[in-house]
Amino acid sequence: MRGGEEKRNLSIATGRPDLLFKATGSCYKASLNRVTLPDMPPPPLPGRRHFLTTLLGAGAAGLAATRASALSYKGENLRYGLVTYMWGADWPLADLIANCEQADVLGVELRVDHAHGVSPALTAAQREDVRARFEDSPVEVLGMGTNCAFHSSDADERKSQMSLAREYIKLSHDIGGSGVKVKPDKLPNDIPVERTLEQIGRSLAELGDQALGFGQELRLEVHGDVTDLGHIRTLMEIADRPNVRVCWNSNKQDLAGEGLEANFAKVAEFLGRTVHVHEVDGGAYPHDKLAELLVGIDYDGWTLLEAASKPADRVTALAEQKKSFLELVTRARAKA
């Protein structure tokens, strides 16, 4: 070109024969003609480090990749946290956050009526303070663990429970949580089971709609008289809301009937962001099998410790429980 650096012309097809791009330096503009690029210097010869990395280092890189590939990607995002029942029950909020951070257990479900003091009675300013405390720490508040239940045939009692659940939904939103745990709880003997399940399911649907407006998940804990996973599946089908989910609770009843795997399959598609587990070394529950099932569905929520034992140092014990459970997850990923 006149008065400038020599340039070579290239025509670059783009999938549209009528459209090419014109390049001048590093700035590209649409053109219907051609592309002009400045002459480029030849690429430098590979140096010794590049040679070793790409040739001699390929063996080591391949070996590392082989080792990494021994673990399935499934389960890699599963996380471990705490329900304040019972190890955190007497920890004030500042201590709860500090102790979870020290144990590297970075998610917590706040069970109601515990020493953390988070309740619907908090003012707007107090709720903002709770939210700020968590946001200033690496610990994530996962929401509220309530005792709200909707099985009662007494209309006033059910109305009261629904109203309380709504308060907790707003509270969880205000403090930065993502959901509220509720319970099915009872199956009254004088009422057909199907009718009670229908009532609970419809209550969950109504609350689910309320929770959706606050960006919250409604988590139905497998609890009380309603530990049959077939009943829990029925409740999910009646509720039929995308944000109404199951909180697996690691009950001994999970092993009944056809066994853990079959019962897990009944509700696997409905699992929410939280699963409750117990001490890995604390009983006969097959946490190793549960870890395999969670990995099998690539669960990426929180497994939360509910612990009733009384270790001398709960913070150290909490860190050890996290290590033990995540070791089970790693083994499950190696088998997946």
Task: Name the residue ranges covered by the structural domains of the chain.
Answer: 1-50, 79-335
Please, where are the H alpha helices in the chain?
48-51, 57-69, 93-103, 124-135, 155-175, 193-213, 229-239, 260-267, 287-296, 314-335
Q: Please state, as a whole number, how many other Cβ atoms lie within 10 Å of the Cβ of residue 37.
A: 16
- CB of 229 within 8 A of CB of 238? no
Task: Write out the chain's pLDDT in tens, 336 residues.
Answer: 444 444 333 333 333 333 333 333 333 333 333 334 444 444 444 443 333 333 334 444 443 444 456 999 999 999 999 999 999 999 999 999 999 999 999 999 999 999 999 999 999 999 999 999 999 999 999 999 999 999 999 999 999 999 999 999 999 999 999 999 999 999 999 999 999 999 999 999 999 999 999 999 999 999 999 999 999 999 999 999 999 999 999 999 999 999 999 999 999 999 999 999 999 998 899 999 999 999 999 999 999 999 999 999 999 999 999 999 999 999 999 999
Element (H, E) at 31: strand 27-31
Helices (H) and strands (E) in the chain, counts: 10, 12
SS3 260: helix
* CATH superfamily, domain at 79-335: Divalent-metal-dependent TIM barrel enzymes (3.20.20.150)
What tokens does 11 get?
A: 């025509």
Residues 6+ apart with CB under 8 A from 91: 84, 99, 114, 115, 116
Q: Residue 293 and residue 255: Cα distance in Å, rounded?
A: 13
Q: Residue 274 and residue 270: Cα distance in Å, rounded?
A: 11
SS3 27: strand
Give 53's DSSP letter: I
Judge if the upstream peptide bond of residue 236 is cis by omega within 30 degrees of 0: no
The structure's pTM equals 0.81
CA 148 to chain centre: 22
Q: Residue 255 and residue 102: Cα distance in Å, rounded?
A: 34
Distances (CA, A) of 108 to 89, 119, 120, 274, 335: 12, 15, 18, 10, 29
- How many angstroms separate the most distant Cα atoms in the chain? 98
What tokens does 252 get?
A: 């001994």
Query: For residue 286, with 0-12 CB atoms within 10 Å meaning exposed, 13-18 middle and 19 or more buried, which class applies?
Result: middle
